[in-house]
Amino acid sequence: MKSFRYSVGPWNIHTGMDPFGPPVRKEVPFEHKLARLKEIGFDAIQLHDDDAIPNVNDFEGSVLRSKAKELKQQLRNVGLVPEFIAPRLWEDERTRDGAYTANSQQLRNYAKERSLKALEIAEELGTNNIVLWLAREGTFVPESKCGVRAVEYLVEAINYMLEANKNIRILIEPKPNEPVDKSFIPTAGHALALSYLTSAPDRVGVLIESAHSLLAGLDPADDMTFALAHNKLWGVHLNDQNGLKFDQDRSFGSVNLRQAFNQVRVLLDHQYGQEGQFVGLDVKALRTQNDDLAYKHLSNSLFVVERLVQKAKSLQTEHISARQEDTDYEELDRLIVDHLLGS
Ligand code: GLO
Ligand code: MG
């Protein structure tokens, strides 16, 4: 029996291409990815607008909607539900100066129109969740943009979406850097603060990715509890990251087991998932893996989450409470480390 319902994106099965080298594995067709992900144990699929409808820029209206309907049937046949749609606003040439915060009004309008397509796809697929990873909303050159205007543009774009469809909710996925140097919405705190500036704060929450918190020098479990305290933790992307480097998307728990444990512990302690939220992964296979072995990052991450669930459930809470009482935190530290080491 699994403890959570799990989700993952098709981009988590990939060719191993990186900025310094070409693909080392074959591109896997979308339908094969779906079948494989289901087989590994996933319940839901995370989708960019152009994962759902390739070349999404070329379609609109009833054609767009009928393509989305076909995908809905395809997902149903495999037994996966869609978790969210995310407008991919960082690959198109028109978003090279950012999308919602581009200096050109024409380009900002493109970003908004493209986002509306994501809303339409989501509606057809039957999910209310729109994820905004604000990839290029930030700067390399500080004087290139006004930070106050940038926040106003972001609020304007979010309000535009909230107004266009009264059922959707928006999950902001913060990240401090990469591909930009300095992001306008670098942390969960910024994302939550932004939510309260919008016209419908009850429909704007966050998706916390472990590696993104770590890249900001923060503990992912703390970001999760902060969002939980606001009732706004609507998604997670579990993975791992070794320090303040490029975004590594390592398998969950592969770098820092105690931090991974605490993420699982807070999710369990606060009944994450009981209102339908998924535990998502956003992990990448190491470039060394050959075609057949480029799925282990997914099965291993699921395995580690479930193992850590067992660890969280078998913690002797009376011992924890006693140490909280007498503030012997050295002993608490030892207890936790010993528990994680096992016998
Ligand atoms: C990149 C992000 C990215 C998003 C995805 C969904 O750093 O983690 O993978 O999660 O595009 O919007
Ligand atoms: Mg992510």
Per-residue pLDDT of the chain (343 residues; tens, 9 = 90+): 899 999 999 999 999 999 999 999 999 999 999 999 999 999 999 999 999 999 999 999 999 999 999 999 999 999 999 999 999 999 999 999 999 999 999 999 999 999 999 999 999 999 999 999 999 999 999 999 999 999 999 999 999 999 999 999 999 999 999 999 999 999 999 999 999 999 999 999 999 999 999 999 999 999 999 999 999 999 999 999 999 999 999 999 999 999 999 999 999 999 999 999 999 999 999 999 999 999 999 999 999 999 999 999 999 999 999 999 999 999 999 999 999 999 8
From CA 22, how far away is CA 45, in angstroms rounded? 26
Q: Which residue blocks in 41-187 are alpha helix, DSSP H?
A: 49-52, 61-78, 105-125, 147-164
From CA 158, how far away is CA 138, in angstroms rounded? 16
- Distance of CA 31 to CAs 10, 63, 176, Å? 10, 21, 33
From CA 152, how far away is CA 298, in angstroms rounded? 38
Distance 335 CA to ligand 1 centre (A): 36
Amino acid letter for position 184 = F
Nearest to 189 by CA among 235, 223, 158, 156: 223
Residue 108 inside a domain? The answer is yes
Indicate if the alpha-carbon torsion angle 193, 194, 199, 205 is positive or negative. Answer: negative
Question: What's the alpha-carbon Rg for the chain, to the nearest Å?
Answer: 20
Residue 14: CATH number of its domain: 3.20.20.150
Ligand 1, atom 3, lies closest to the CA of 133
Residue 37 inside a domain? The answer is yes
Are 273 and 4 a contacting pair, CB within 8 Å?
yes
Q: Which residue blocks in 196-284 are alpha helix, DSSP H?
A: 210-215, 220-229, 257-269
Amino acid letter for position 156 = E
The pLDDT assigned to 1 comes to: 84
Residue 142 inside a domain? The answer is yes
Residue 1 inside a domain? The answer is no
Distance 102 CA to ligand 2 centre (A): 22
Residue 293 inside a domain? The answer is yes
Distance 212 CA to ligand 2 centre (A): 8
Cβ-count burial of 183 within 10 angstroms (0-12 exposed, 13-18 middle, 19+ buried)?
A: buried
- Domain with 179, as residue range(s), is 6-341
Cβ-count burial of 306 within 10 angstroms (0-12 exposed, 13-18 middle, 19+ buried)?
A: middle
Closest ligand 1 atom to residue 209 Cα is: 8
The pLDDT assigned to 291 comes to: 97
The pLDDT assigned to 343 comes to: 80
Are 26 and 64 a contacting pair, CB within 8 Å?
no
Ligand 1 contacts (CB < 6 A) are: 86, 131, 133, 173, 175, 209, 237, 247, 282
The pLDDT assigned to 300 comes to: 98
Residue 136 CB neighbours (<10 A): 21
Q: What global pTM score does this model have?
A: 0.98
Ligand nearest to the CA of 215: 1
Residue 194 inside a domain? The answer is yes
Number of structural domains in the chain: 1
Are 37 and 280 a contacting pair, CB within 8 Å?
no
Residue 114 inside a domain? The answer is yes
Amino acid letter for position 93 = E
Nearest to 110 by CA among 120, 129, 97, 122: 97
Residue 82 inside a domain? The answer is yes
* Ligand 1 pocket test target in 207, 237, 279 with most atoms within 8 Å of CB: 237
H helix or E strand, kind and range, residue 302:
helix 296-313
The strand pairing partners of 208, in sequence order, are: 236
